[in-house]
Structure 1
Amino acid sequence: MEKKLTILDIATLSGVGKSTVSRFFNNGYVSQEAREKIQKVIEENSYAPNVFARGIKAKNNKFIGIIVPCLDSNTTSNILMALDSTLRVEGYTPLIINTNHNIELEKANLENLWRLNVEAIIVIATEVTQQHKDFIKRTKIPTVFVGQICSNGFSIVNHESAAGKKMGDYIGKSGLKNILYIGVDEKDIMVGKNRRDAVFKVLAKYDVNITEIKSDFTFETTEKLILEYLKNNKPDCIISATDNMAFGAIKAIHSCGFNIPKDISIAGFGGYKVSEIISPRLTTIKFDNEKTGKEAAYSIIKLINNIPIPKIQKIEFDFIKGESVSHLSF
């Protein structure tokens, strides 16, 4: 495999200085004689300049770094598609990095994107650490967090308190008494704490018993946890922190021979398209992920252009009244 020419190689072969070659590629002034020498070397060696590397080093390069925790999440993919398409329409080039839920890799890639001289960074976050806050303070690079609140940055989040209250009130009024809530780690402040706390706060006003177990967002783990739980327990209703986890719970419920909602009711958060076509249709909170993606794109562009935006933007939701919850009191 032939070694790819560098700018220094071209300068040596052309008999000109490295700075002259650099000016040639960046449309600076180069004498006609030097230009012809450089062009001859390029043609003889079929040299193709790295347009990406040249562009990203320039000021106002239109590159925006996007860090995502995964690519197989329904929520993340919907946000990302709207974000990507909106940025491209506005003339920006997204650089998407997947961290596979590795928080250390996420923090390292913040630094990498900053060193690459991107104009701004968007983080679809599951956690905000002190290192994230220190990065914002130190670099001053325009950064928007999606899904989590960064106290010294800009954030776009779902209206978790209102959504949790809506779900808690609906289940409380249904007359179902023994409630199982399956949530996630509180390190995820918005889902693991704020969403959960809002549900619990409202349910506390009703005459119900609440049990809680924690999963990891995945279908598989949730299915195993619910299968184990149902060996010795039978809740009236399972509230899942996400629709994906609710699907795992649904499979476990069916595996144990129970009927939904006759034997066990179930509800979730997310509002995925598949939630509307399963039978019975899932009762859930539908978040507007497309709007979240678009708002993230427009917000980061405003920050790049020094246009003020709110520190925290909350995305509203729709309540989907499916058929997966019994209505004993209705």
Structure 2
Amino acid sequence: MKKRLTILDIANLSGVGKSTVSRFFNNGYVSPEAREKIQKVIDENSYAPNLFARGIKARNNKFIGIIVPCLDSNITSDILMVLDSNLREAGYIPLIINTNHNIELEKANLENLWRLNVEGIVVISTEVTEEHKDFIKRTKVPTLFVGQICSNGYSILNHEEAAGKKIGEYIGKSGRKNILYIGVDESDITVGVKRRDAVFKALSKFDVKIQEIKSDFSFETTEKLILEYLKDKRPDCIISATDNMAFGAIKAINHYGLTVPKDISIASFGGYKVSEVISPKLTTIRFYNDETGKNAAKTIIQLINGEKIPKIQKIEFDFVEGESVSKI
């Protein structure tokens, strides 16, 4: 981990006094010549002032930033609770920021956390952009992505290929022929591409017809999409990229007086606890969210300590054979 510059370091590198650097950061008077020297050092070292400087020490402050896309997701909540408790047990203080699926806000908060001088950052991510990659390269702050792969960073994600294959083969062997897949945008590489492609690849071995629509992870949007779809189409099976979207599809199915699985079978990914309570019980993939949370806490601490770890860690799953898929 690259050592952060102190005000004294900047003063020495720029050849001015420490008080001059302090005035620079506090908008006091600094001669144009001195200001230019200080700015040059800042630019060359990608220095960001520590906004916590007056309240905590600049080094070993024990703060770890956690950026999440939402707080109402079962999976995100499960991971976050375990991650938070494990970090606290290790003596760290989590700073949790919710972005409400706003990728621009996520990128802005990466910068904010860096300026707050946190020791590390965990991003429970739905998308990795070039700006994310640039942040890793530019700041060198230990950063871990959960749920997505960052090519020049460290990632923990679900074993999408194996999970998608399992669901695809199960539906193929069930004898379902006319299948609707509810996916999400390809900007989410993990769910929108890898999960979807694994399902489609497995189904390609069977004599099936597949159609696809894309939702936005929400119950409400999915319900509306399926209500429209079922006006003139009748798949005999729906595969949903998440349990939450599957619930929206089930509500739409019931709206037309149809039942699961008699009229339309349904399977999904998520393994939410409520999936076992609804009737019929949902056939789904349950990822080990607790393990993800524990590994995320352990991994970010290892990164902070400069330990060598794998670039990518994959989390396994259980296949939950519920009652929502009928076999021919």
Q: Which runs of 4+ in 1 moved over 6 A?
A: none
State the superposition RMSD in angstroms: 1.1
- Offset of 1:54 from its aligned partner? 4.1
Q: Which residue of 1 aligns with 2:179?
A: 179
Q: SS where residue 211 of structure 2 aligns?
A: strand
Larger of the two Rg values belongs to structure: 1
CA–CA distance in 2 between the matches of 1:326 and 1:208? 16
After TM superposition, list the pairs within 5 Å mapping 1:181-260 onto structure 2: 181-260=181-260
Residues of 1 paired with 2:119 and 2:215: CA distance? 37
Note closer, same or farther for the CA distance 1:56–1:157 as it changes in structure 2 (3 Å cut): farther
For the residues of structure 1 that align with 2:136 and 2:261, how far apart are their CA atoms?
47
SS at match of 1:132: helix
Structure 1 CA distance for aligned equivalents of residues 298 and 72 of structure 2 = 24
Q: In 2, distance between residues paired with 1:313 and 1:209?
A: 34
The corresponding residue for 1:88 is: 88
- Partner-residue secondary structure (3-state), 1:91: coil
| Residue of structure 2 in register with 1:112 after alignment | 112
Contact 1:56-1:63 within 8 A present in 2 as well: no
Correspondences of 1:28-47 after superposition (within 5 Å)? none
Distance 1:166 1:296 in 2: 25
Question: In structure 1, how many angstroms separate the alpha carbons of the residues matched to 2:266 and 2:172?
Answer: 13
- TM (norm. structure 1) is 0.83
Cα contact 1:164–1:199 (8 A) shared by 2:
yes
Structure 2 residue aligned with 1:39: none
The structural deviation recorded for 1:53 is: 5.7
Cα shift at 1:56: 4.0
Matched, 1:79 2:79: yes
In the alignment, residue 298 of structure 2 is paired with which amino acid?
Y
1:39-68: CA deviation from partner (whole Å, max 9, x where unpaired):
xxxxxxxxxxxxx76454420000000011
Q: In structure 1, give the amino acid aligned to 2:101.
A: H
- Cα deviation digits, residues 272-304 of structure 1 (max 9, x gap): 000011100000000111110110000000111
CA separation of 1:56/1:146 partners in 2, compared to 1, >3 Å: closer, same or farther? farther
The residue matched to 1:187 in structure 2 has which SS?
A: coil
Q: Distance in 1 between matches of 2:268 and 2:155?
A: 24
Which amino acid in 2 is paired with 1:76? T
The equivalent of 2:32 in structure 1 is none
8 Å CA contact retained: 1:57, 1:116: no
CA distance in structure 1 between the aligned counterparts of 2:174 and 2:235, rounded to whole angstroms: 14
Identity of aligned residues (%): 79
AA matched with 1:263: D
Report the 3-state secondary structure (helix = DSSP H, G, I; strand = E; otherwise coil) of the residue aligned with 1:157: strand
Residue 290 of structure 1 is matched in structure 2 by 290
**What SS does the corresponding residue of 2:302 show, helix, strand or coil?**
helix
CA distance in 2, matches of 1:282, 1:301: 37
Gaps of 5+ in 1: 1-18, 20-51
For 1:129, the aligned partner's letter is T
Amino acid at match of 2:231: K
Check the 8 A contact 1:55/1:61 in 2, yes or no: no
Letter in 2 for 1:319: F
2: distance between equivalents of 1:210 and 1:286?
24
- Provide the secondary structure at the position in 2 that maps to 1:210: strand
